A and B are shown apart, each in its own frame.
Chain A
């Protein structure tokens, strides 16, 4: 009987950790913030459009407010007047968040080695994925999203600030064994030392 139940359960019940489940959900529902400043933005729009259809990867919901996004795609060159704006948008995005640096200009300044163009946004922002190309093909952007999904699934939210002070898994409060002992003593029962797993 028990083995039969186990067989049925094995097909329908999955055991995982909260981190893994959350990472799986986050990886498949990335909401991009399109920071498109140049021609890479056209490729970004093309990727989201029907032919390449970024929604197959769960990240079609382009939001133009950083408060609702968790993936910033910096597509195009960023000039020195734009860097404070870019940093403010990055700081306004809620945790956990990721950043894709799309195209040669965002990665390294590209051909614009002038006084006004920042030579790579990774000098001032954390970047997860770099996409080369001038501009990159939509396939490259899709590949980078898939790699970012892999990264999110593998690393999870381990480094996110919201979990910085968490040392134990979240959930219901741990059962207070001492209280049980006190209740039983009050009722006249005497038990040996309770055995419990220190983790569970």
Chain B
């Protein structure tokens, strides 16, 4: 418990005057940071001992009851010495879907950020090799957005047809 308190204190000492909302669910700590402060917050958390980035993912909050922001980007952090975990959340909205890259802080953020871009279209500034990870480069949509139809927009059938006579 003292570890968590020191983590909270070290984060709040770096981000004085910034509204951080802490919450807890089944003894798992969560904190929501404004998008403009996410780079400072992540750097402070790494310096406070959170040395492993488990995952970066995102949630499309379109039509989510009570949601005020469109996308929620989630960082899952782990302190490998103490076993302590922390969930960091931040919100981005439609015209300015940009976040600073976490690659300078944890190198493992490389593919995670590319996957988030691939599925949600959130751009990470300062990424060393920023392009799609899973889908073809020619793919134009971001399929995990809630306004994208499950069956796609015909991308899966946009290929030449090889007949028996031609092959």
Residues of A within 8 A of B (CB): 79-81, 83-84, 87, 90-91, 97, 113-119, 123-126, 159, 161
| Contact call A115/B164, Cβ cutoff below 8 A | no
Binds A, one of B30-38, B58-66, B86-94, B146-154: B146-154
Say whether, besides A81-B136, A90-B162, A126-B162, A119 and B156 are in contact (CB < 8 Å): yes
The smallest C-beta distance from B149 to any residue of chain A, in angstroms, reads 7
The A-contacting residues of B in range 143-167, CB under 8 angstroms, are: 143, 148-153, 155-157, 159-165, 167
**Complex Cα–Cα for A125 and B162 (A):** 5
Please give, as numbers and ranges, the residues of chain B lying within 8 Å of A80 by CB-CB distance.
Answer: 136, 155-156, 159
**Complex Cα–Cα for A48 and B136 (A):** 34
Say whether, besides A80-B156, A87-B160, A115 and B167 are in contact (CB < 8 Å): no
| Contact call A115/B151, Cβ cutoff below 8 A | yes
The A-contacting residues of B in range 112-150, CB under 8 angstroms, are: 135-136, 141, 143, 148-150
The smallest C-beta distance from A50 to any residue of chain B, in angstroms, reads 34
**Nearest residue in A to B149 (C-beta to C-beta)?**
A115
Select one of A81, A118, A126 contacting B164, CB under 8 A: A126
Please give, as numbers and ranges, the residues of chain B lying within 8 Å of A117 by CB-CB distance.
Answer: 156
* Overall SS of chain B's interface: loop
| Contact call B150/A114, Cβ cutoff below 8 A | yes
| Contact call A124/B167, Cβ cutoff below 8 A | no
| Contact call B151/A114, Cβ cutoff below 8 A | yes
Known: A80-B155, A81-B135. 6 other contacts (CB 8 A): A87-B162, A91-B167, A113-B150, A114-B152, A123-B159, A126-B164
Please give, as numbers and ranges, the residues of chain A lying within 8 Å of B156 by CB-CB distance.
Answer: 79-80, 115-119
Please give, as numbers and ranges, the residues of chain A lying within 8 Å of B143 by CB-CB distance.
Answer: 115-116
| Contact call A123/B157, Cβ cutoff below 8 A | yes
| Contact call B152/A116, Cβ cutoff below 8 A | yes
The smallest C-beta distance from B101 to any residue of chain A, in angstroms, reads 25
Please give, as numbers and ranges, the residues of chain B lying within 8 Å of A81 by CB-CB distance.
Answer: 135-136
The smallest C-beta distance from B148 to any residue of chain A, in angstroms, reads 7
| Contact call A91/B162, Cβ cutoff below 8 A | yes
**Nearest residue in A to B157 (C-beta to C-beta)?**
A123
**Complex Cα–Cα for A167 and B132 (A):** 52
Say whether, besides A91-B162, A125-B162, A115 and B152 are in contact (CB < 8 Å): yes
Please give, as numbers and ranges, the residues of chain A lying within 8 Å of B150 by CB-CB distance.
Answer: 113-115
| Contact call A126/B151, Cβ cutoff below 8 A | no
Select one of B135, B153, B159, B163 contacting A83, CB under 8 A: B159
Please give, as numbers and ranges, the residues of chain B lying within 8 Å of A83 by CB-CB distance.
Answer: 159
Please give, as numbers and ranges, the residues of chain B lying within 8 Å of A115 by CB-CB distance.
Answer: 141, 143, 148-153, 155-156
**Complex Cα–Cα for A97 and B149 (A):** 37
**Nearest residue in B to A161 (C-beta to C-beta)?**
B165
Please give, as numbers and ranges, the residues of chain A lying within 8 Å of B149 by CB-CB distance.
Answer: 115
Chain A to chain B: the 7 pairs with minimum beta-carbon distance, closest first: A115-B152, A126-B164, A80-B156, A83-B159, A124-B159, A115-B143, A81-B136
